[in-house]
Structures are given as C-alpha cells and as structure tokens.
A and B are shown apart, each in its own frame.
Chain A
Amino acid sequence: MIDDIDRAIINGLQGGFPICERPFAEAAARLALDEDELIGRLARLRADGVLTRFGPLFKPEALGGIAVLAAMAVPAERFDAVAATVNAFPEVAHNYAREHALNMWFVVAADSPEGAERALERIAEATGLEVLALPKTREYFLDLRIEA
C-alpha cells in the first residue's frame, strides 16, 4: 500500500529531478521531506514494483537509436513459447499481450534502423511467424506521467 507521502512523491517527482550534487536533498525540500526519507521511500517503492525505475528517460532517436513497434499473430497454443523466444532478444524493450488477432505487441530498440530491421528478421526466423513492423512516422505527443 502507498500512503499520502508516497503519493505526493510519485505525483511530484515524475520529472524535474535536479542535476546537482545533492539532488535528493533539493527534491525532498520541494516536497517538505528530508533527504534520507525521500531516498528510503523511493527505494521501497522501487523494490515493491510501484516504480519500475527512478532515473532518466531517454529518447532513443535523439541518441542515434531507434525504437520500432512490431506486432505478431501468435497461435494460442504457442503463445507462451513464442513470448519466451521474443523476450530473450535483448533488443526487445517491452512486450504486451493484447486482445486482437495481432495478439503480441513488442518494441525493438537498436542503435540504427538496420539494427532494428535485423532484430525483427531474426525474431521472424526464430518464431516462424510474420512480424509486422510499425515504426512511428511522427510523434504527436508523449508524456508517460501518471497520477498515483
């Protein structure tokens, strides 16, 4: 369970974490907490899985990298085995089961479009399934902040 202080931390600290010698002290002051308490609560929230991580969120395209969304129609009886095969690729950053004929959706991240293409080809080979590549053509909006 999270309490009101956890909630204030999650809502107040999804961005704007300072870059300075004692950033937790500075962030804690904004939340009327002290440095040790903020660090302790973040460690607990991360250990409990309420936070998936605490740190910078990079934009791969700005670093010369690329992230490509891909979808596959996986036969139900092979779903778990295919998921294991796909997840074993280090290029696969996330993978979701979705309710649709195209029932597996994953993101491949690589250092170049060619690298992403090669990873997708290897996934198609390893699974024997068609991989539908849906790279973004344009980003209208991205803000993954969510309310606790």
Chain B
Amino acid sequence: MTPDPIDLRIVEATQAGLPLVARPYHAIAERLGLAPDDVMARMARMQDLGAIRRIGAVPNHYRLGWRANGMTVWDVDDARVDALGERIGRLPFVSHCYLRPRRPPSWTYNLFAMVHGRDRAEATRQADLIRAELADACRAGEVLFSTMILKKTGLRIASAAAE
C-alpha cells in the first residue's frame, strides 16, 4: 500500500502503543484532529493490506521466562534455501525466519531463524532440529545467543516518513 500523510500520522501516534482507555481509537482521533470513523477505517485498511501485522499485546520474552533467545544462522545451498526457509519458518519454536545476503569473509550465513527456549539447553535442542531439517543442504551453522538487550523501542518509521 502507499500510505498517505494521514495514515502516517496515525502510524506515528500508535506505534508506541494504544491509549489504555475505553475508546482508544477515539482518543487517537481526538489527538490528531480526525474523525474516529476515519481513524478506524484507515487502521482497518492498513491491517487488511498487511501494513499492520496485528494489534494486541507485545510481551517481553525474558519476563515470561523465555530467557534463551538464540539467533540460529545457517549457510544453506542457494538453490534449496527458499523451500527450506518456508519449512523452518513453520517449526513451532521459530519466531522469525529470513534470507539475508552473505558478506564473506566475515559472514557466510544466509538463513536466519530465531528460536526461544526457557534455557540454553532447550534452545540448543531447537537448533539441532533445524540442523536436522536442513540436512545436506546446510554447510555450516551457529547459534548466537543474546546476552543483553541494549535497546528495544520498536520500529519508529513514521517520524522520518511524515516529515
């Protein structure tokens, strides 16, 4: 979709969260000087078109006990990576799965899959299952565990886009 400036103002006003009041869309509309029906129609449209992935609670993994968050990375045969990426993405413990460019010599992995376990042993077992699924299409892999969240504000794109 091509968002117009009013869509982008709505994005900017809601990306840090909805107001926790009985009529949140009305509160946003009032803040922006728009009609509530217009705000709701635009948000529904953005959701239909995939610009809003979902609306709801965004939990903190760590606070819910998912302490071992591993970025598994794999060097997978380019000819087979699309089919395998789709399969890895469907594993229940994978939260995102992306294809990215290799940057040799310092970075030789093209497939990324995030896994989440209650401890490192669980996350390592999940990585082993991915490795087994990739089988002979995979030349090498690693798990990069996060040790600290240095910053997490969510994506703030509209402030730049709306200028």
Contacts and interface: CB of A to CB of B under 8 A. Distances in A.
B24 A92 contact: no
Interface in B35-64: 36, 40, 43-44, 46-47, 49-61, 63-64
B18 to A, nearest CB: 4
Taking residues whose C-beta sits less than 8 angstroms from the other chain, chain B's interface range is: 35 or more
Interface string A41-76: 011011011111111111110111101010101000
Contact of A100 (B94, B142, B160): B142
Given A46-B17, A56-B15, A140-B99, A17 B55 contact: yes
Contact of B157 (A20, A58, A106): A58
Given A14-B58, A45-B57, A64-B3, A21 B52 contact: no
Contacts, number: 264
Nearest first, the 10 A-B pairs at minimum CB distance are: A141-B89, A15-B54, A111-B161, A65-B157, A62-B51, A140-B85, A140-B89, A95-B150, A53-B17, A138-B99
28 contacts: A10-B59, A10-B64, A13-B57, A14-B57, A15-B56, A19-B47, A21-B36, A39-B20, A52-B58, A55-B17, A56-B14, A56-B55, A58-B51, A62-B51, A65-B155, A94-B152, A95-B150, A98-B145, A101-B106, A104-B150, A105-B146, A106-B150, A137-B100, A138-B98, A140-B97, A140-B99, A141-B86, A146-B61
